[in-house]
DNA sequence: CGGCGTGTTGACGTCTTTCAATACGCGTGG
DNA sequence: CCACGCGTATTGAAAGACGTCAACACGCCG
């Protein structure tokens, strides 16, 4: 909601996937077109259906992307960590792509308008190719989720979800890998297509078995191998 | 399996989304790099894990893209109709993207190697931007499927599936819209994450109600509005 | 202190899958 | 020409996974 007490440097944009491999001159050009904002926790970055179509990236903090239907049912499309892109899908599809983006922490966020971005892509095709790589990775993930939802029971889906989050943004802690997002049971459920109740039950079991620790919406996986085993299902329980 | 008794013209590639908006000279260049094949029904276009990484497009016929895990469970990623791209995801992700492509009819298929495509994208950024649009649309569809699988019961998923197929490739017939792919119950189930049994039950009901006709793996929707109503759920049944 | 958001847990209901039996069309080979 | 097998579709009965609902616990903040 406020504008930036944050000084952008060339390094900030150079670190983003979208601008990988660009000459310094191009980066400076990018910098000029960059809008930067600092947002508090629990802010909307953009809303379903506001005309606000820009490509975003996160320099600091985390964001939750979600969609919800009129029936109230909601899914989480993705959690965004620092240095990731988001909100760009609407650019490349008909602008009917709808999603909400909400900050989970304090956030430093940069963005570019559609014309500026197209302009950059035209003059530096590498930007477009980079974008293809990003989008390609996302589509791959979406496809994995589709397969999971189609074929796997709840506990395996939850396991996969935790592993993905850990891989995406996990941090080594003394006792395992910590997922740095503030995660509610409902978030996890909305990611992997189940209810907060089922998630709670599953996590309680795993916590009792010492596979993970859950505290203050912070999840730490203490026995990665166990979770992986469940995800990959060597899982015919040993009765 | 055989090479082409098919003469490619500039119009063939000009009609593809990927090359929209290119100058004639560029199209000729594309043409030179194009490999063209004619394949019989029930052929593999490419397989999970063969190094065969090319971007494909269909000039004639239809193809089923599927993925299967070791547990035998399979999902259908997508049906491809004439003039659509496919198999390009592997290019833009790590090449670990695995999928099978199998012809459902006789097929005329064209393809390009990764280096050729990158080269074209670099010199004609419009190609990369077009690719982004295609991939963007796909990701949007994948996301819709995720939401459906997460929140909707089987009958609504089947309804959505039929509507999508109809929209993608449907043809007006005297008695409604025909879906031109040879569709088995199992295919439909693999698309929308259910079993062939559930699909069968749902379709039987709808056929009895006169919403559609199913014959020889050809589906014709005779009452689109009814299917749409189910998909959108005004569906609290009128007891 | 009382409300609010979150998490846990049990009981219950139901939607789907699973399994099995049966039917039908089609091509091949006897 | 008919029989047989194979792939596909239908249908019923039974089991099971998961969602729903309700009650309750906990920490936090005004």
Distance (Å, rounded) from C-alpha A129 to C-alpha B131?
Answer: 9
Distance (Å, rounded) from C-alpha A187 to C-alpha A178?
Answer: 16
pLDDT for A34: 96
Collapsing DSSP to helix, strand or coil, A77 comes out as: strand
Domain boundaries, chain A: 2-149, 152-232
Collapsing DSSP to helix, strand or coil, B226 comes out as: helix
Best mutation site among B67, B92, B192, B199 for testing chain A: the one with the most A CBs within 10 Å?
Answer: B92
A200 touches strand C (CB under 7 A): yes
Strand partners, A52: none
- Asked if residue B190 has pLDDT above 50, the reply is yes
Q: What percent of chain B has pLDDT over 70?
A: 94
A78 touches strand C (CB under 7 A): no
More confident call, B118 vs B96: B118
Which positions of strand D lie within 7 Å of protein CB atoms? 8-12, 17-22
The H-or-E segment that residue A182 falls in is none
Q: Considering CB atoms only, which of B69, B77, B151 is closest to A143? A: B77
Which residues does A237 contact at the CB level (< 8 Å), separation at least 6?
none
pLDDT for B37: 94
- Asked if residue A233 has pLDDT above 80, the reply is no
Strand order in the sheet with A176-179: A171-173, A176-179, A218-221, A212-215
CATH value of B152-232 in 1.10.3720.10, 2.120.10.80, 1.10.287.1080, 1.10.10.10: 1.10.10.10
Distance (Å, rounded) from C-alpha B43 to C-alpha B1?
Answer: 8
Distance (Å, rounded) from C-alpha A148 to C-alpha B156?
Answer: 19
B214 touches strand D (CB under 7 A): yes
Q: Give the confidence band of B41 by pLDDT, cuts at 50, 70, 90.
A: very high
pLDDT for A235: 52
Which residues does B185 contact at the CB level (< 8 Å), separation at least 6?
B196, B199, B200, B203
CATH class label, A2-149: mainly beta
- Asked if residue B145 has pLDDT above 90, the reply is yes
Residue nearest to nucleotide C24 (CA to C1'): B216
Distance (Å, rounded) from C-alpha A6 to C-alpha A225?
Answer: 41
pLDDT for A238: 37
pLDDT for B90: 78
């Amino acid at each position: 909601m406020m504008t930036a007490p944050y000084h952008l440097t060339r390094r900030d944009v150079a670190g983003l996937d979208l601008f990988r491999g660009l000459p310094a001159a191009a980066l400076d050009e990018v910098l000029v077109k960059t809008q930067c904002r600092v947002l508090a926790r629990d802010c909307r970055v953009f809303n379903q259906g506001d005309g606000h179509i820009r490509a975003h990236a996160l320099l600091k903090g985390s964001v939750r992307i979600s969609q919800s239907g009129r029936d109230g049912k909601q899914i989480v499309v993705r959690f965004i960590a620092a240095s990731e892109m988001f909100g760009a899908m609407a650019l490349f599809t008909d602008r009917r792509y709808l999603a909400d983006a909400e900050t989970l922490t304090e956030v430093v966020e940069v963005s570019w308008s559609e014309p500026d971005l197209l302009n950059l892509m035209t003059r530096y095709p590498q930007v477009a190719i980079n974008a293809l790589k990003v989008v390609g990775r996302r589509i791959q993930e979406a496809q994995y989720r589709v397969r999971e939802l189609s074929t796997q029971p709840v506990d395996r889906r939850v396991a996969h979800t935790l592993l993905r989050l850990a891989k995406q943004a996990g941090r080594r802690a003394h006792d395992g890998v910590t997922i740095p997002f503030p995660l509610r049971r409902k978030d996890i459920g909305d990611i992997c297509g189940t209810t907060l109740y089922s998630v709670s039950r599953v996590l309680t079991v795993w916590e009792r078995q010492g596979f993970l620790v859950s505290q203050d919406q912070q999840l730490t996986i203490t026995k990665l191998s166990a979770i992986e085993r469940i995800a990959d299902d060597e899982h015919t329980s040993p009765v």
